[in-house]
Amino acid sequence: MSETASLPVEKLTKDQARAELERLAKEIAHHDALYYREDDPEIPDADYDALRQRNAAIEQAFPDLVRADSPSVHVGAAPQEAFGKVTHSIAMLSLDNAFSDEDVADFVARVRRFLRYDPLHGALAVTAEPKIDGLSLALRYENGKLVTAATRGDGTTGENVTRNAETIDDIPRTLPKGVPDVVEIRGEVYMAHADFAALNERMVGNGGKPFANPRNAAAGSLRQLNPEITASRPLRYFAYAWGEMTSLPADTQMGMIEAFEGWGFVTNPLMKRCESVEELINVYHEIEENRATLGYDIDGVVYKVDRLDLQERLGYVSRSPRWAIAHKFPAEKAFTIVREIEIQVGRTGALTPVAKLEPVTVGGVVVSNATLHNEDYVRGIGQDGEPIRGGKDIRKGDTVQIQRAGDVIPQVIDVDLTKRPADATPFEFPTVCPVCGSHAVREENPKTGRLDAIRRCTGGLTCAAQAKEKLKHFVSRNAFDIEGLGDKQVEFFYEIPVEEGGIHQPADIFTLQRRDAGSLVKLKNRDGWGETSAKNLFAAIDARREIDLNRFIYALGIRHVGEGNAKLLARAYGSWAAFAEGMREAVDHASGAWTDLNNIDGVGEIVAEAVVQFFAEEHNRQAVEALLAEVTPIDMEAPLAKGSPVAGKTVVFTGSLERLSRDEAKAMAERLGAKVAGSVSKKTDLVVAGPGAGSKLKKAEEHGVEVISEDGWFELVGE
Ligand SMILES: NC(=O)c1ccc[n+]([C@@H]2O[C@H](COP(=O)([O-])OP(=O)(O)OC[C@H]3O[C@@H](n4cnc5c(N)ncnc54)[C@H](O)[C@@H]3O)[C@@H](O)[C@H]2O)c1
Ligand SMILES: [Zn+2]
């Protein structure tokens, strides 16, 4: 960075200002391209916002230096050529930002001044709603039918993503009778936290690279050249604005949003109408407090003048409307000191370095730990061997910058080398497990030939850390969820020998009461326990002797099998018996069972391999058998689409279809509750074959699978 880049705006000479504006224009354009086109930004939003703010401040101080390509008059980035282009009939703009309460007061004062709306006119109504952190999408309906969906692009021209948008459940394909001839709804495509976590789990399981955050995941999923990929991504949509409309169903912002809701769109329930700056600020804080529990990312609150006639009079400045502003949440970043670097051993034996920090408030939350992911990360090396943080390593005693994004675990994003203590030494990553002393190794990834980023303890169940973490996982909220048996109690029971009333493996939980009866020291007499708490625990355990199959599978803690994959497996196999049998057969990669497993939509080879390996291990089989003597997994029924004749069936489409594209056929079948597989196996229920169907048709005949034509399909499903 040049010296001018760090000079305060008021100290800049005219020449320096000119050079700065040029540098900022280039730099911002570079980050815009990464963010909007590649969905892969390289700097945090707060840093990007700081660049823009500096640019705006310099432009204000030197108005005659404003460049033709100034970032302050541009929105987003030009559409990617690979998509068709859509010209927006009304430009899609950005929003001006407010970063403080004063900025909000200024905004309202500005609006009032512009409109000469003095207090005599009474209160000025302004709406407040969450600013969803996704990407905007315009939906054009003609005569009630969705005709185009377009991204914002550079505001004038966007990308045509109609086929992709059609796969999003929240987006109606048709609107009710009586809507205006042309309706253009605008809103935000986003991904919920849970869906994001499941998607990343799947991506990693398939050997891919996870998305950095839900916004990138949403943008990357919507902007896919293959709509089939979009369809497999759990995207959602909030409607909050509009473009071209032949007539308006209301005369206020609030009224419009209510109308959209009536037309079948999802609108945000937290939107409120306010009548003063204080009220706006209150709603802002209310929404900010709820932020962590919403289940999706928001990055601020948007205020909009409620009356549409006033909006029209206010109009637009270059890249944003005068009648709206986004009140951003404070940057969730802070500097603090690394007191210690500790190694935690997880349930799969992963050795994870954790930075113990001098506690610091980041975005309103006190942070005292930050994950350091793995040894490469500590050394300043990223997933693909590339340098991160400019290649700076992290040491005990370092002053580091912490970032918290949504509910994500805080991360160390930078190290201030000028503050590094003279005696700080590079962190030495252990090569033995700090808990059990077994060797800790980095396995080679068979696919890439590179070393796995994670070093793992090879101690297996003899490692107390792994055993305890497995138990904690087993009883966790989305697994067995046993009330009164949390992390603390797991630690407690693990310290007790099994024959004296301890718990060392999952089955022990369910024999606890029986063993307690014959135990020398009864649970109710142990420290911290009593008659009631012991009784309650036994009851809570008994309440879980029957459990949903997907929870059961998830609880086993098989590598790469998180909640999402557990559900996929449970749904595909339906019962524990079928699942276990399939996995035992699938050890033979030439078997149909292995093909079936890999044919499950969303289950990749890495996951498949992990599950099969789990079953191949004798001690896992024993542990599961002991468990099954105590608990019963409940069979999972295929999700039934009401009255659909293909619900729960596995369908394969082959050959060329005439009335349907392959994607549409797939979407249709899935909507009707069927599973669509790519190849035929004995699990296939139905093959829909068009002209030119080859090997799949033959295979269907071999397996005795029913084969119908495309017309037969329509007859069957009645559409
Ligand atoms: N890290 C980077 O390199 C990088 C690069 C470019 C942009 N960015 C980030 O992107 C953002 C700027 O992007 P922008 O130009 O899209 O502007 P913006 O996100 O600040 O505001 C405008 C957008 O807000 C969205 N929005 C969400 N909820 C809304 C609601 N309820 N009502 C109205 N609009 C709503 C719309 O999509 C609209 O286009 C900033 O957060 C910036 O930090 C980051
Ligand atoms: Zn160990």
Q: Is 131 a catalytic residue?
A: yes
CATH 2.40.50.140 in the chain: give the residue spans.
Answer: 332-457
Given a cut of 50, the residues of the chain with pLDDT beneath it are 1
Q: Where are the alpha helices (DSSP H) in 65-177?
A: 101-115, 162-165
CATH architecture of residue range(s) 460-544: Orthogonal Bundle (1.10)
- Which listed CATH number (3.30.470.30, 3.50.30.30, 3.40.50.2300, 2.60.40.10) goes with 86-328? 3.30.470.30
Indicate left, alpha or beta for 387 from its phi (over 0: left) and psi (-120 to 50: alpha). Answer: beta
Instruction: Please state which CATH class domain 332-457 belongs to.
Output: mainly beta
CATH 3.30.470.30 in the chain: give the residue spans.
Answer: 86-328
Domain 650-717: which topology? Rossmann fold (3.40.50)
CATH 1.10.287.610 in the chain: give the residue spans.
Answer: 4-74
What phi and psi values does residue 589 have, to the nearest 5 degrees? -70, -10
Annotated binding residue 386? no
pLDDT one-digit tens code per residue, 114-162:
888 877 778 899 999 999 999 999 999 999 999 999 999 999 999 999 9
pLDDT value of position 190: 97
Distance 463 CA to ligand 2 centre (A): 4
pLDDT value of position 283: 97
| Nearest residue to 138 via CA among 167, 158, 166 | 158
pLDDT value of position 114: 87
Asked if 608 contacts 594 with a C-beta cutoff of 8 angstroms, the reply is yes
Marked catalytic residue, from 14, 85, 131, 683: 131
- Identify the three-state secondary structure at position 54: helix
In this structure, whether the domain defined by 548-634 belongs to CATH 1.10.540.10 is answered with no
Residue 488 tokens, joined: 């603390």
Asked if 671 contacts 641 with a C-beta cutoff of 8 angstroms, the reply is yes
pLDDT value of position 418: 92
| Nearest residue to 104 via CA among 124, 133, 76 | 124
Widest CA span in the chain: 89
H/E element, 13: none
pLDDT one-digit tens code per residue, 208-246:
778 877 888 999 999 998 888 999 899 999 999 999 999
What phi and psi values does residue 258 have, to the nearest 5 degrees? -65, -40
- Is residue 32 in contact with ligand 1, taking CB distance under 6 Å? yes
pLDDT value of position 175: 97
**Partners of 411 in the beta sheet?**
371, 403
CATH 3.40.50.10190 in the chain: give the residue spans.
Answer: 650-717
For ligand 2, a single-atom ion, the residues with CB < 5 A are 433, 435-436, 438, 457, 459, 463
ipTM of model: 0.94
Burial track 369-388 (b if 16+ CB lie within 10 A, e otherwise): ebbbbbbbbbbbbeeeeeeb
Q: Three-state SS string across 190-234, please?
A: ECCHHHHHHHHHHHHHCCCCCCCCHHHHHHHHHCCCCHHHHHCCC
Nearest C-alpha to atom 37 of ligand 1 is from which residue?
Answer: 136
- CATH of region 4-74: 1.10.287.610
> Which residue among 24, 47, 96, 136 has the greatest number of ligand 1 atoms within 8 angstroms of its CB, and so is best to mutate?
136
Residue 419 tokens, joined: 């503050």
- Is residue 138 in contact with ligand 1, taking CB distance under 6 Å? no
Distance 385 CA to ligand 2 centre (A): 27
Give the ligand at the shortest distance from the Cα of 350.
Answer: 2
Nearest C-alpha to atom 8 of ligand 1 is from which residue?
Answer: 45
Residues 6+ apart with CB under 8 A from 427: 341, 353, 378, 393, 394, 395, 396
Q: Give the pTM.
A: 0.60
d(CA 457, CA 345): 8
Burial (CB count <10 Å: 0-12, 13-18, 19+), residue 352:
middle
